[in-house]
Structure formats: structure tokens, C-alpha cells
Amino acid sequence: MKYAAILDRLSGLGGAKWEIHARARQMKAEGHQVIELTIGEPDVPCPDSLLEVAARAMQAGRTGYSNGRGEPQLLRALAARLSTRRGRAFTPENIMCFPGTQTTLFAVLMAIAESGTEVLVGDPMYATYEGLIRASGARPVPVALRPERGFRLDPADLAAAVTPATRAILLNTPHNPTGAVLSPEDLVAIGAVARAHDLWIVSDEVYEDLVFPGTRFASPLDLPDLAERVIACASISKSHAAPGFRSGWCAGPAEFCDRLLPLSETMLFGGQPFIADMTAAAVSAPSEVAPGMVARFAARAAMIRDALDGQHGLRVHVPQAGMFALLDIRATGLSGEAFAASLLEAEQVATMPGESFGQALSGWLRLALSQSDGLTAEACRRIARHAAAVQTRR
């Protein structure tokens, strides 16, 4: 049988990147006491206040069809939120709603990239980005995010990667997996590159509410002179501990949203009205759970640094935001994939190999900060013990 070319473009870019996580879940099902430091799920449940909104909406009959743009009250709530946070006026015409950030990014990239074009993206990158770009037919062009710069994208490196085929820049701030946050100065310089070459800027900002003390979040949406070319994407998955509800959105030029609407209608023809009601309530007030997550995740990142940095050649990169810390294990002589696989089998600690996020993180691990303090400390003890064992065998 014959298949569409998109399946060839996406071959190997799906669940294989989460192989260690899948193996850890299998081991847990078999009764092993595995400590999971793999995926970025909030460490608290979705607030009861939001669940109650969704339940009341369902009981009130908000279970019918919606529309391709989003429920009116949610569009208004998002417009008000963005106007307050970004310091300039947004209207419902600037917003499109989707089931989660992943679907949002897929639709946005399908709308602006195509075969024969290129999308610049920082390397390391979130594990699905290559697939998102290749799905459109475009070619991802990795731009190195260097540890000595705190993994923040260097505008000079970005400019050097531009070719006549470049169509867009895909940003992620705060960044997954590195926890780096682009500064306002970074964004001005990146915006200058985009203007000089007439490029779109797509900004994944799902971790905006999980920025650690001492760091300030900035968005390219803050810059009015970039308004015609910036599309920012986010959701309530992280900020409101609601990943299973799949509720996200993008904000950008009204013309872009109008042009995107037929694609949204073809894909989905709307989300669930009761989830839209819950999301409107979520974005209309400060998150009940984000401040606690910020405090715990920052403390756990410091705990990991204190426990592992300098032990047996290990180095810890402390994030500025988000749910993860990075561990440099290159001194062990193993790849991230080999170390993560042997760590899981020997010590029953599951981590994400850096190679899942691009070759720039070869020889690194991503450690989730969402386990309890006690389990995080125990995981650090096991990681250090395994690094010592690897060094001894060498």
C-alpha cells in the first residue's frame, strides 16, 4: 500500500524519544520502585475550583459543538490577559484556541511553513519540535544553544543560519529542556534578524508562569514593532496543573488568525465548551498552583546542584524556569542514552537522555523537578552511585 510523504518525514520522530520513560512505566507496572524524573507533569492536581467550573458547565449543557476559533468568553478572557501582560491591546480577533500547545504549534507551523522552506530552531530543542517542523514539509535548521551562554539563543548565530529558504524562527522561552529564559535584549536582537529577513517568529511560552525568582519573563509579543510577525503559543497545562484538559491557544496578527481559521475548522471544528469555560476562569485570575510549583522546582534544582555538581565529574546546569534541570555526564564516557538506560536498570531511576532533545545535548540528562524532595534526594544518591560505578569500570 502507498502512504503519504508526511509519514516518511515523521518516521522515528515519535515515541522513540521517550523509550526510557516507557521502559520505566513498564518496570513500575511489574512492581519495581522506579523514581521517575522523565516527563514534565505538575506535582499537584488541577485545582478543585477549576474542576468545579468544568463540572458546572457540563451540568449546564455546555457539551455541544463549539467553533473553529474558540468560545467567545474564552477569547475575551485571553485578550484581557494578554493586554495586561504584554502592555498593548489585544482583541479576540488576535487569538485562536486549540487543544493544547502541541496542537497549536502544529497548526501554526502548517500555516507558515512548507516544502522548500526552513525553520530555525535552537538546539537543544523540545523533543517534538523536529517533527512539528517536518510535518509541514519544511526543514529544521538547528542553531546551537551554548552552555557558556546559559543556553540562551545568540542572535548572531541565528543571523548566520538564515538562508533565502528561511521562513520562520521557532523560539521556546522559558526553554525546555534547559530552563533558559530569553532576556528583553535577546528578543530585540532576534526581532531585528526577523525584520531584516522578513521572517515569522513563533514563540512557545507554555512555562511563562514557572519563572524562578531573580529572572523576569519577556515575550516577543511585548514589542509592538514585531506585532505583524509574532505568533505566541501557550496553554494551561503547566501553569494550572491541567495537562489532561488539553487547552491552549495562539496569539498573533488578526490577519494570521483569519487565515488560520479554515485550517482549524478542517482539523478540529472546535474544542469542548466546558473546557473553554474552565480555561476562561483559569486565565482570568492568578494561578492558585503556579507559585508553589515555582518555589518547589527552584528548591529541587538547587538540591540537585548541591548533591551532584562536581561529583565524579558530573556537572549540573541550574535552570531559570520550568520543570527540569540538566546533568552533564560526559565525564563518565557514556552517551546520555547509554547512561540513562544503565541507570534505569542498575538504580531504578528514570531520566531523559539529552539526545532526545538534539545532538547538542549528547552526553547530558534531563531531570524532572516534579518528584517530592525525598524522592529527588534519593534519586541524586543513586545517580551519584551509578556515576561512581561507571567511572570504576572505566
Query: Which residue in the block uniquely carries the three cell numbers 523560539?
Result: 171
Rounded Cα distance between 210 and 229, Å, is 26
The predicted pLDDT at position 40 comes to: 87
Q: Is 101 left (phi over 0), alpha (psi -120 to 50) or beta?
A: alpha
The predicted pLDDT at position 50 comes to: 98
Supply the pTM of this predicted model: 0.96
Q: What angle do CA 262, 4, 118 make, to 5 degrees?
A: 70
Helix ranges, the chain (H) = 5-9, 19-29, 48-59, 72-86, 100-112, 129-135, 155-161, 184-197, 254-267, 273-283, 290-308, 336-347, 373-393
Q: What number is the average pLDDT over the span 156-164?
A: 98
**pLDDT tens-digit profile of 282-331?**
999 999 999 999 999 999 999 999 999 999 999 999 999 999 999 999 99
Rounded Cα distance between 24 and 328, Å, is 21
The predicted pLDDT at position 359 comes to: 87
In CATH terms, the fold of domain 5-45+289-393 is: Aspartate Aminotransferase, domain 1 (3.90.1150)
**pLDDT tens-digit profile of 343-385?**
999 999 999 999 999 989 999 999 999 999 999 999 999 999 9
List CB contacts of 29: < 8 A, sequence separation 6 or more: none
The predicted pLDDT at position 91 comes to: 98
Rounded Cα distance between 140 and 118, Å, is 6
230-235 and 95-98: which strand pairing? Answer: unpaired
166-172 and 95-98: which strand pairing? Answer: unpaired
Rounded Cα distance between 351 and 341, Å, is 9
**pLDDT tens-digit profile of 86-142?**
999 999 999 999 999 999 999 999 999 999 999 999 999 999 999 999 999 999 999
In the predicted structure, residue 394 carries a pLDDT above the cut 80: no
Q: 334 to each of 69, 105, 346, 363, 381, how far by Cα in Å?
A: 48, 34, 15, 7, 19
Count other Cβ atoms within 10 Å, centred on residue 85.
14
State the pLDDT confidence band at 388, using cuts at 50, 70 and 90.
Answer: very high
Residue spans per domain, the chain: 5-45+289-393, 48-283
Q: Return the sign of the alpha-carbon dihedral for residues 384, 385, 387, 392.
A: positive
Looking at the DSSP bridge assignments, the partners of residue 170 are 121, 202
Q: What is the mean pLDDT of the chain?
A: 96
How far is C-alpha 216 from the chain's CA centre?
A: 18
349-353 and 364-368: which strand pairing? Answer: antiparallel
Cell representation of residue 248: 491552549
Rounded Cα distance between 379 and 369, Å, is 11
CATH 3.30.1360.70 fits 48-283, yes or no: no
Q: What is the DSSP letter of 265?
A: H
The predicted pLDDT at position 391 comes to: 87
The predicted pLDDT at position 328 comes to: 98
User: How large a percentage of the chain has pLDDT more than 90?
Assistant: 95
Cell representation of residue 213: 525568582
**pLDDT tens-digit profile of 223-247?**
999 999 999 999 999 999 999 999 9
**pLDDT tens-digit profile of 42-53?**
999 999 999 999
